[in-house]
Structure 1
């Protein structure tokens, strides 16, 4: 696989040289048109701002995404990677596509990034206002093997529904579903995706459609019993037809590394981002709703890396002290 590398030609931290020399770190992301790539670039930008203080030089690499990044971190080809919270879980457990290689016991979480909400878009004329209203409707449940399809099936199982509960249960790919919705071949589409999303923008500008709430006791139970899910909000005003915040659930983009990466390296990276969160949030619209406490916990299944844990303890203790003083 050819990789696109920006900022610097890098080499791995594994077996790095003198502490007085610059230390080079590589972040694996995803395709250049997705959110993971600019997310990694934003993290590197924050780290490189303070390189004279900590001696770290950060570069970002375009890759095949979550699964590739986890395997590359495990093999030592990457220092850090961005992955979806469910694949983090499966890698740590040695399940699904990671069953053959076994548990990645040294997998460590650094922090949680933006949410990737379970997003339901319905035609305005369909009358769909909540997920329960989808019963008897024409719905795209996602192509088999996709992350969206897996999440649909998980929610249906908790609801006690099956595909037969829909008038049509289409299996279109993500790139095909917006057009089908606007051609009135479907009443609703479902997509697990970070926001803003070009596909969702297409669906909400090409025809009258709305973002549908996915919330309630069943969703609460699903989130509570599934470690890689968390509650999520799709901000109001992000898409035509949906001026108010919409409650849902979903996965998180998670920043992961290996226990073999040095504590001070992960500490400095965490500090560069979390310690200057207001500036970090300005680098991409997907970061606007990030909160420190959620970054330390939401969607994190693998143990926190000691370097990240140290910084979060410091910053959360400081915030608690300020709160107690009424600051």
Structure 2
């Protein structure tokens, strides 16, 4: 009888501890946009960090990056994700964030190379940026990421919006649908993303338009931190062949400077130990390398991230 009573007390104690842990578990927000590769990345991050760090991560889906950058800067949302050009512009208050600096953003990690470019249907016959002349091209609001990518890509072929037929587009999901519906002849796309697979299933074969060797300098004027990558260096994806050149930049995870060092260190540790979990989320993560989480040090990192990266010997910044 006494033994049974002791067992019941032990079980009750275990359950109480589990409940207490659940109640006290820290919850943080991760700002992201809806649809496309960005939401894929956010979903994988939330799952991995929650499982590995014991920090409950809840994606906060918003219309666009410019909507949530000020919220993270102000500490109203703890974390956010964006490509390197957007993050760099946001901190300095230039380019896409002209006149709206977010000085309280701090880097947490360089996640993956974001391999992207302009993609057309295979039946269009287009192969290069020069082939865009006279074609129907998405036109995003001025100073948005889509606007910068389209303008930079046209510029590599000596073209501007005056040389194409502009089709007003509000956001990336609308852009993907416009290509499917034949309203545009091209879309911005990320190699290996679900949106590429969806478009291919809808329209048949797809082709990434190729940039010329040396176009990095042109792209970098509008998309800082951008370089080119050949098809032979890319993960397998529809629309990519051995002689395709598309661009890439790092995709970043950042935090508000107000987030406690301990929390950020837990997140960084979860990423460092989460390779298997992240790569299981899809081909977009195939190039994820924990040793490169801090390889881009042009922007200020959160002290919590720096402390962790130093502890595992991968910090190369000042």
Name the TM-score, length of structure 1 as normaliser. Answer: 0.70
Q: Is the helix fraction higher in 1 or 2?
A: 2
Larger radius of gyration: 2
Q: Per the alignment, in what secondary structure is the counterpart of residue 161 of structure 1? A: coil
- Structure 1 residue 249, shift from structure 2 partner: 1.3
| Cα 1:233/1:115, change in 2 over 3 Å | farther
Instruction: Indicate the SS of the match to 1:30.
Output: strand
Unpaired runs of at least 5, structure 1: 1-20, 319-327
Alpha-carbon offset, residue 131 of structure 1: 2.4
* Structure 1 residues 9-48: aligned runs within 5 Å: 22=24, 24-31=26-33, 33-48=35-50
| Aligned ranges 1:137-152 → 2 under 5 Å | 137-145=134-142, 146-152=144-150
- CA 49–33 in structure 1, closer or farther in 2 if over 3 Å, else same: same
Select which of 247, 261, 264 maps to 1:263: 261
Deviation at 1:47, TM superposition (A): 3.1
Distance 1:172 1:68, change over 3 A: closer
Separation in structure 1 between the aligned mates of residue 82 and residue 179 of structure 2, nearest angstrom: 29
1:131 is matched with 129
- In structure 1, the partner of 2:289 is 291
Is the 2:122–2:207 Cα contact (8 Å) retained in structure 1?
A: yes
Q: Is the 8 A contact 2:129 2:157 kept in 1?
A: no
* SS of 1:191 mapped into structure 2: strand
Given the alignment, which residue of 184, 187, 192 partners 1:190? Answer: 187
Question: Structure 1's 74 and 159: CA in aligned 2 closer, same or farther, altered over 3 A?
Answer: same
Matches within 5 A, 1:171-190: 171-172=168-169, 174=172, 188-190=185-187
Query: 1-side partners of 2:36 and 2:178: how far apart?
Result: 22
Matched, 1:227 2:200: no
How far apart are the structure 1 equivalents of 2:132 and 2:175? 18
Distance 1:218 1:96 in 2: 20
In structure 2, which of residues 151, 158, 177 is the aligned counterpart of residue 160 of structure 1?
A: 158
Query: 1:106 touches 1:258 (CA, 8 Å); kept in 2?
Result: yes
Alignment partner, residue 119 of structure 2: 121
Contact 1:117 1:233 in 2 (8 A): no
Residues 112 and 294, structure 1, Cα contact 8 Å, conserved in 2: yes
Kept in 1, the 8 Å contact 2:30–2:58? The answer is yes
How many residues are matched? 289
Task: Encode CA deviations 1:246-272: one digit per residue, 9 max, x unaligned.
Answer: 431144432111223232321221111
Matched, 1:305 2:307: no
CA change 1:199–1:140 in 2 (3 A) is farther
